[in-house]
Structure 1
Amino acid sequence: MSTLTTSLGDSAIMLRRNFRHTVRNPVTVFQAVLFPIVMMFMFVYVFGGAFDVGGGRYVDYAVPGLLVMALGYGLGPTAAAVNGDMTKGVINRFKVMDVSHGAVLSGHVVSTTARGLIADAAIIGVGFAMGFRPHGSALDWVAAIGVMALLGFALSWLTVAMGLAAKTVESAGMATVPLIMLPFLSSAFVPADKMGPGIRQFAEYQPFTPIIETLRALLSGGHASTTQAVAAVAWCVGLGLLGYVWAVSTFRKRA
């Protein structure tokens, strides 16, 4: 059996293991899938009327930001799970079983990305029930899904790296808080030009704003700014490469 086939087989086993852990943990399911829906109800029905988004319906404005936020809410359990594998001796058992090292990491990355996309599908479904009416074409939707998958993949690698670098399970979960909080300081729920000095500039130049604005343009059927789209892809690729290099180097030192 080739090395590639063995690695793919090991990755499939790790992926199945991680999905089983997710299904058996109600807290993870709530945090990754249900809590973003709770946030959606809160922002659209409770706070939505207080925000000026240029005359459009607030649910149409908020959904792209909520899609990005949904990708972040499932990161904490992944970081904790990765750290638990390292600190509880699970990795040593895998080494004895001759499981591919790459499969251990990729299993967490793929399962986290898939979990985030499931949460995004739930957000879109609930959004339609709440009046969300996108006007993007089929090609726009394909591009939007691609952006979400790329961002989810990048954040997953960064989360795995944080989990590997943390000293304890608790600190691993806390390390992902900035990734969860940054969308709040972006154009997710209110246009950046409506914000006060300082916060406005931060919102304009932080990673999530161009990603959210690109998704918003694609789903609305409008023309996505080339500058915003390039910045969105560049941020995703940059974060993904940072997470991958950091995760692999840390794993080699600790495993």
Structure 2
Amino acid sequence: MSALAYDGTAMLGRHLRRLRHNPGLLILTQTMPITMLLFFGYVFGSALATPGQEYRTFLVPGLMVATAANGIMTGMFQAAQDSHRGVMDRFRTLPMSRTVVPFGQAAADLVVTLGGMVPLMLVGLAVGWRIEGSALEAVGAVGLLLLFRFATTWIGILLGLASGSEEAAGQLGGATFILPLLSNAYIPTDNLPGWLRTLAEWNPISAVTTAMRELFGNAPVPTEGAWPVTHPIAGSLVWCAVLIAVFLPLAVRRYARGGR
């Protein structure tokens, strides 16, 4: 095994063990989407134009994408915690590539996210959501979801390294909850005011959510609206490519540079 692969595996294992020793955070991140599914699906669903099982079918893909977008919050908090406690400074003194440490965090986050999607999908199936598309399309949906999570994690890592404080990261991370609310994850955007609908449809979460609904066979692609939601798969891939191209090198550079 090459030195780079060995170091990468070591960092991946380190971040997974870190989550194992912090079960409270792990349980919260895994159960929160299920709690939101039950609350939104049975409380809010009765007040919307698509009530009951139909709304829950609409909601499950949106919650999956909202969970993927939380990569900003988790990436930010973990990077800020390591930076604040001096762990990053110790890693920089070790003879290994500067890319290994942030990549290890991002890779571990993908493993945890994939595991967390299983109970959410099972509960979704229990409340009426179904995968109506082909098996290949469903695999593509999961792959797209993980790609989006990977992209948002790099945003979080950069912000966490820049903040350098657990308290600041926690406060800023709370603000990320508004991002799914400004999208089509929880409600259709058709009846929103013009400017707000445009804002919601250009939100990357809306493109990925629409792509998920298409790939799972839960809803057809809209014929009207912004380009990312009328071409959701292409729009999602473009958004992911842009986010990774911008934030990954910035995060790696910030880690390599150090300082606060």
Asked whether 1:238 is paired with 2:242, we answer yes
Q: Deviations over 1:43-73 (max 9, x none)?
A: 1111111112399711110011000112234
Letter paired with 1:175: L
Alignment-derived partner of residue 24 in structure 2: 27
* Alignment map for 1:167-182 (pairs within 5 Å): 167-182=164-179
| 8 Å contact from structure 1 (residues 75, 112) kept in 2 | no
Specify the alignment match of 1:227 in structure 2.
Answer: 231
TM-score of the two chains, using structure 1 as the length reference: 0.90
Q: Does the 8 Å contact 1:105/1:160 carry over to 2?
A: yes
For the pair 1:155 / 2:159, whether they are aligned, the reply is: no
CA distance in 2, matches of 1:66, 1:86: 30
Return the offset for 1:189.
Answer: 1.5
**Retained in 2: the 8 A contact 1:165–1:250?**
yes
Once the two structures are TM-superposed, the CA of residue 15 in structure 1 deviates from its matched residue by 1.0
Q: Within 5 Å, which residues of 2 pair with 1:39-188?
A: 39-53=36-50, 57-73=54-70, 75-188=72-185
Secondary structure of 2:187's match? coil
Determine if contact 1:186/1:208 at 8 Å carries over to the other structure. Answer: yes
Q: 1:54 to 1:92 in 2, by over 3 A?
A: closer
Question: Taking structure 1 as reference, are residues 54 and 80 closer, same or farther at Cα in structure 2, changes over 3 Å only?
Answer: closer
Deviations 1:190-216 (A, max 9, x none): 110022343222112221111101101
Q: Does the alignment pair 1:11 with 2:4?
A: no
Letter in 1 for 2:256: R
- In the alignment, structure 1 segments of 5+ residues that lack a partner are none
CA distance in 2, matches of 1:32, 1:74: 10
Gapped regions of structure 2 (runs ≥ 5): 223-229
Normalised to the residue count of structure 2, the TM-score between the two structures is 0.88
Q: Return closer, same or farther for 1:102/1:114 CA change in 2, 3 Å cut-off.
A: same
- Using a 3 Å threshold, how does the CA distance of structure 1 residues 59 and 222 change in structure 2: closer, same or farther? closer
Moved over 6 A (4+): none
Per-residue CA shift, 1:169-192, capped at 9, x if unaligned? 121233334543211111111110
TM-fit CA distance, 1:75: 4.2
Letter in 1 for 2:243: L
Deviation at 1:7, TM superposition (A): 1.3
Aligned length: 252
Distance 1:27 1:75 in 2: 19
Give percent identity, aligned residues only. 30
* CA 25–74 in structure 1, closer or farther in 2 if over 3 Å, else same: farther
